[in-house]
Amino acid sequence: MAKPQRLYHILSSAQFTREFLEDFFRSVDSFVTQLGQRPSKPTKDMLAAMYRNYLMFNFFYEPSTRTRFSFATAGNRLGMRVEGTDNAKLFSSAAKGESLAHTIATLSAMAPDLIVIRHHENGELEEVAHRSAVPIINAGDGSNEHPTQTLVDLYTIYRVMGRLDNIRIAIGGDLKYGRTVRSLVQVLSLFDDIRLLFVSPKALSIDDETRAHLHIAGIPFVEEYKITANLRIADIVYWTRTQAERATEEELGSFDPDDFKISLETMAMFKQSMALLHPLPINNEIAPEVDNDERALYFTQAGYGVPVRMALIDYLLHGYDVQTPEFSPIPGVAKIWQR
């Protein structure tokens, strides 16, 4: 029997298959159970023995709260040491003009076990990941992708719905620059009987590549340019903020934010059994009072960031101590698959 393909660097949601996700979520389930609300001392000791003396580099060129802390927490819970920097644009040699390729080659030469990077340039990480002998995880690259957030989002949907097929999902906000949506949509198309409703300002709608991908995958979708009563039947409403740091003045001025704001009145229109998710941070696209609605599950979602990333670290490191597939310290085309 052919050996199943194993992921090495985690750079894009396009790498995830349905089989991988189903297996992976079983592993996340087990970490969720072990962690509980707060793990007991014996559980902490047991978990911390798993990767004691392993080392994670956490390198963030763009701001982050959830992703950086949940990677660090996941690593710490598994006994790893975590080194790194935020604001790497300023606090790493990038400030002295070093390229990402050279930074990665340097970090890799120090032989950590794992490198987590958030970078501001779309797709650059994928180009240079082969410069690393150890797994690289994309923690968000510009407006391109955020594959580990997708694992968190999809795991939350699976916990809430108890299934991943046959779901109506409304996705709203800035769908042009939001990397979490671009990554999430790619995996949703792996499942059966998914219907999508996109709600965004016209200037910030999904791109043609995403539309083409959905057409090819046979996923029906509708695009709307403000909140309407069509949201009534959504099982999941996944909302996002406007990426003001990426959008142009013209795009930002082209719409009324109130048309995209989820208020208590909007919540009253939603199904009783639905869940409201958001990758966070929230600006003004969800009214603060909505936090109290039991269907607003974005903090639960953020909490899953730790067990999801523990499972990912375990997946990447378990039994793969001494291997450097496709490692090539010279420039070339990145290959994101191992074996």
CA-CA-CA-CA dihedral for 266, 237, 156, 312, to nearest 10:
-130
Q: What is the pairing mode between strands 6-7 and 221-224?
A: unpaired
DSSP secondary structure letters along 305-329: HHHHHHHHHHHHHTT-SS--TT--S
Which residue, 150 or 266, is less far from ligand NCD as judged by CB? 150
Check residue 142 for interaction with ligand NCD (CB under 6 A): no
Check residue 130 for interaction with ligand NCD (CB under 6 A): no
Sign of CA dihedral 316, 320, 321, 326: negative
Q: Which residues contact 62 (CB under 8 A, 6 or more apart)?
A: 118, 119, 120, 140
Check residue 307 for interaction with ligand NCD (CB under 6 A): no
Q: How many residues does the chain have?
A: 339
Q: Which one is catalytic: 9, 68, 77, 118?
A: 118
Binding residues among 261-290 for ligand NCD as defined by CB under 6 A: 279-280
- 261 as an active site residue: the answer is no
- 96 as an active site residue: the answer is yes
CB of 179 to ligand NCD, least distance (A): 5
Q: Which one is catalytic: 9, 68, 119, 146?
A: 146
Q: Which one is catalytic: 66, 195, 213, 335?
A: 66
Among 149, 156, 186, 266, binds ligand NCD (CB under 6 A): 149
Which residue, 66 or 89, is less far from ligand NCD as judged by CB? 66
CA 118 to CA 113: how far, in whole Å? 17
In the chain, where does DSSP find H-type helix?
18-35, 41-48, 66-77, 88-91, 100-109, 124-128, 147-161, 179-188, 208-217, 249-252, 264-269, 298-303, 305-317
- 146 as an active site residue: the answer is yes
Which residue, 66 or 295, is less far from ligand NCD as judged by CB? 66
- 52 as an active site residue: the answer is no
Which residue, 44 or 159, is less far from ligand NCD as judged by CB? 159
Site string for ligand NCD, 221-240 (x = CB under 6 A): -------------------x
CB of 164 to ligand NCD, least distance (A): 20
Angstrom CA distances, 90 to 44, 94, 114, 244, stand at 35, 7, 22, 21
Query: Among 72, 136, 149, 147, which residue's Cα sits nearest to residue 101?
Result: 136
C-beta nearest to ligand NCD: residue: 279
CB of 48 to ligand NCD, least distance (A): 25
Check residue 66 for interaction with ligand NCD (CB under 6 A): yes
Which residue, 279 or 307, is less far from ligand NCD as judged by CB? 279
Q: Which one is catalytic: 9, 67, 77, 119?
A: 67
- What 3-state class would DSSP assign to 56? strand
Angstrom CA distances, 50 to 74, 75, 80, 308, 313, stand at 12, 10, 9, 16, 11
Check residue 241 for interaction with ligand NCD (CB under 6 A): yes
**AA identity, residue 237:** V
Site string for ligand NCD, 162-201 (x = CB under 6 A): -----------------xx---------------------
* 3-state DSSP percent of the chain in helix, strand and coil, to 5: 45, 15, 40
Footprint of ligand NCD (CB under 6 A)? 66-67, 140, 146, 149, 179-180, 240-241, 279-280
Query: Which of the residues are catalytic?
Result: 66-67, 96, 118, 146
